[in-house]
Each structure stands twice: as structure tokens, then as C-alpha cells.
Amino acid sequence: MRAMPPQPAVLYPESDGKPMGETDFHRKEIIDLLVALEERYSAHPDVYVAGDLFLYYKQGDPRSVVCPDVFLVFGVPRGNRRIYKLWEEGRVPSLVIEVTSLSTREEDLGLKKERYARLGVKEYFLHDPFAEYLAPSLQGFRLLGGRYRPIAPAADGSLPSAVTGLVLRTEGEALRLFDTATGERLQTIEEIRDARRQAVAHVKEAEARAAAAEAELARLRRELGRRDERG
């Protein structure tokens, strides 16, 4: 019996070759959300946070792919990946956030929403920074019985995330994350940078004061030495 020729390896692309094509507001919000979630779970080696990364969900079919703006997976190791293969990782994202716009509305409310529900993503949130089509501009869905059900907003329009213990709330055009237990807002990348700059400045100030005190102490010792010599 003739041996079958080896099958070519399936190629799972890392990019579709297209630019993101969204505004600075969209890009910055995605980065801020990623940084906030990464900081929150920095002490948890089994929580993976990613965004704008191809997630392949059917082995052997590179067309079965979705690219969430922000997603979080419990139970897989933290670390850099080129793509996310569901059959290898063994864990579906628990949380997906899409920073949506008019140009992506059909996909975000249609194809992506259907796929996320089918895959078993427990919570799906959409934020429309410019309120171009979503009213309210922040909406969330929780998976119940295999279907997404709207998450009821609070009086201020905020939405709770049961899987993370966070509250999603808009501040102007921006989406922010709050810790349910403490009420504190998770910091943005600019706030984290400012805090680090202030910490560095405080250290430098403390070092300068210590150096000045050491110099003054040395001066006093010299002065005492001269007095002893005269005495």
C-alpha cells in the first residue's frame, strides 16, 4: 500500500496585514485597559491578559479566528504569545472587552458576539467612546444558558463584572475599571508613570537631603577638630 505523502503544516497567521485603523482614543483606551488588568493580576502567574491578538478556536482551520481588543483568561500561565490556540491552552477567555466604533459595529454586535457566546466567554463588554451608535455607550452581556443576557446597569451607568470583581464605568469618553471591594480606580498607564516619576523624585530628594546632612556633619566635625587644636 502506497504511503500517503506528509500533510503540510497548517499555518496560523499572526496578522491579517491590515492596520488597526482606529483613533488615538480607541488605541489609548485599549492600552489603558490592558495595563490596568495586567497590574491588577501581576501577582497571579495563572492569569493571562492580552489584546489585539489572534485567538484560533478550531484546530486545523485558520479561518476560525477572532481578534478581541482586550481579553482575560484564568488558569493559563502569564507570558508573551504570538497567537492564542484554544486547543493548546485549554481555557476560554472569561472576559472580553471591545472598544467599538461605527466601522466595527456589525462585527462587534454580530459575528464576534455570536462567536464569544459559542466559545463560552462568560462576559462580553462593549464601549463606544464617542457614543456613535451605542446608547448607552457602555453595554455588557453575561452568558446564561448558552446565550448572552444584558447586564443591568447601575444608576450611574456602570456595569459589574462578576468574573473579575471589577466595575466598568465611563469617565467622559474613557472607560475605567474600579475594584468592587475597595472602590478604587485601577490606574492608567499615565498615572502609573506619574507615580513612578514621583517615587523616583522622592528618592532623589531624600538622597540629596542625606548628602547635605552628611556634608554638614563633616563640616561640624572639622570645626570641632580646629577648636580642640586651639584649646
| pTM recorded for the entire structure | 0.81
pLDDT at 202 > cutoff 80: no
| Residue-level pLDDT at 222 | 80
* Weakest-pLDDT range from 17-31, 126-140, 192-206: 192-206
Residue 83 sits at φ, ψ, to 5 deg, of -145, 170
Q: What's the pLDDT band for 9 if we cut at 50, 70, 90?
A: confident
Residue with the bigger pLDDT between 216 and 132: it is 132
Q: Where are the domains of the chain?
A: 24-187, 188-231
Q: What is the pLDDT of residues 87-143, one digit of tens each?
A: 999 999 999 999 999 999 999 999 999 999 999 999 999 999 999 999 999 999 999
Homologous superfamily of the 24-187 domain (CATH) = tt1808, chain A (3.90.1570.10)
| Residue-level pLDDT at 210 | 67
Kindly report the average pLDDT of the chain as a whole number.
88
pLDDT at 21 > cutoff 60: no
C-alpha–C-alpha distance, residues 162 and 180, integer Å: 10
| Residue-level pLDDT at 153 | 96
Task: Label residue 157 left, alpha or beta by phi (over 0 means left) and psi (-120 to 50 means alpha).
Answer: left
C-alpha–C-alpha distance, residues 135 and 61, integer Å: 36
- The arithmetic mean of pLDDT across residues 160-189, rounded, is 94
Q: Which residues of 79-113 are buried (b: 16+ CB within 10 A; e: fewer)?
A: eebebbbbeebeebbbbbbbbbbeebbeebbeebb
C-alpha–C-alpha distance, residues 185 and 203, integer Å: 26
| Residue-level pLDDT at 195 | 55
